[in-house]
Amino acid sequence: MKMRNPPVNSLSLEFLTELLISLEKLENDKTFRGIIITSDCPGIFSAGLDLLEMYGRDPAHCAEYWKAVQELWLRVYLSNLVVIGAINGISPAGGCLLSLSCDYRVLANNPKYAIGLNETLLGIIAPFWFKDVLVNTIGHRAAERALQLGFLFPPSDALQVGIVDQVVPEDQVQSTARSVMAQWLAIPDHARQLTKNLVRKPTADRLLQQRDADIQNFVRFISRDSIQKSLHVYLEKLKQKKG
C-alpha cells in the first residue's frame, strides 16, 4: 500500500477515510495475507496528523476527525494481516504511530528520516494510546524521555532504542520488507493472528473501553485557546522555514 497524499502524506480526514476503505477491502479479500505500507512522497513517510484538521475547526469537525484517527489506528494495530512498514521517509507523531502499529518496521538509512512522537514540540501531548504503543515498543524509561522531549530519532538511534526493527540502505527498503513478509507468512495464519491478538488486545481495549470519552477529551483539549495558539505558531514556523 503506497500512501499518496502530496506534498507530505498528512493524515487528513479524507486521506484517513481512503486508507480505511483500502484496508477494509484488503482485509475482506481472503487472497491477501499481508500488506507492506510505504510512501509515494519522496523523503516523507507521513507528516502525521493533518494540523489543518485541528486548527480553527469547530468541535463537531474535531470529533469526527478524532474518531477517524482512532478507527485507522485500531484497524492497523489489530489487523489480521501481516503489516510491515517500509519506512522510506521522515515519520513524526501520527506517522510514527502508524509505523509503530505495524508488525515490523524497516527504516531507510538516511539521517533525514527521523521517527518519533514529537507532539510536545508542537505544544500538544501524545494521547494515552500513542504513549501505550511507544511504551510497549521501547520500554517505559526510553518512552518517558522520548515523549517529554519530543525526540525524533535518526535511523541509527531509532534502531538502538528499538523503535524500528531494521535499518537498511534506502534502495533496499522494499526488498527487505518483502523478505521479512515471506518470513512472517511462513507462520500459519491462525496461530499468528491469535498470538497477535493476545499481545495487542489489552492495549487496544484501553481505547475501546473509552472511545467516546477520548473523543471528548481531545475536542476539549484541542479547542483550548492556548493549544490553538501553539498550533498557529507551529504552522507559521513551517511556513517560514520555506523562506
88 DSSP 8-state letter? -
Among 217, 223, 228, 230, binds ligand LCMDX3IU (CB under 6 A): 217
Asked if 198 is an active-site residue, the reply is no
Interaction with ligand LCMDX3IU in 72-91: which residues (CB under 6 A)? Answer: 90
Among 34, 85, 92, 116, binds ligand LCMDX3IU (CB under 6 A): 92
Measured from each CB, the residue nearest to ligand LCMDX3IU is: 48
Q: Which residues contact 151 (CB under 8 A, 6 or more apart)?
A: 116, 117, 118, 145
From 98, 118, 134, 152, active-site residue = 118
Q: Which residues contact 100 (CB under 8 A, 6 or more apart)?
A: 133, 134, 137, 163
Interaction with ligand LCMDX3IU in 104-143: which residues (CB under 6 A)? Answer: 118-119, 122, 124-125, 127
CB of 175 to ligand LCMDX3IU, least distance (A): 25
SS3 226: helix
CA 63, CA 128: separation in Å to the nearest integer?
A: 17
Q: 127 burial class (0-12, 13-18, 19+ CB within 10 angstroms)? A: buried
Chain residues in the site for ligand LCMDX3IU (CB under 6 A): 7-8, 10, 44, 47-52, 90, 92-94, 118-119, 122, 124-125, 127, 217-218, 221-222, 238-239, 241-242
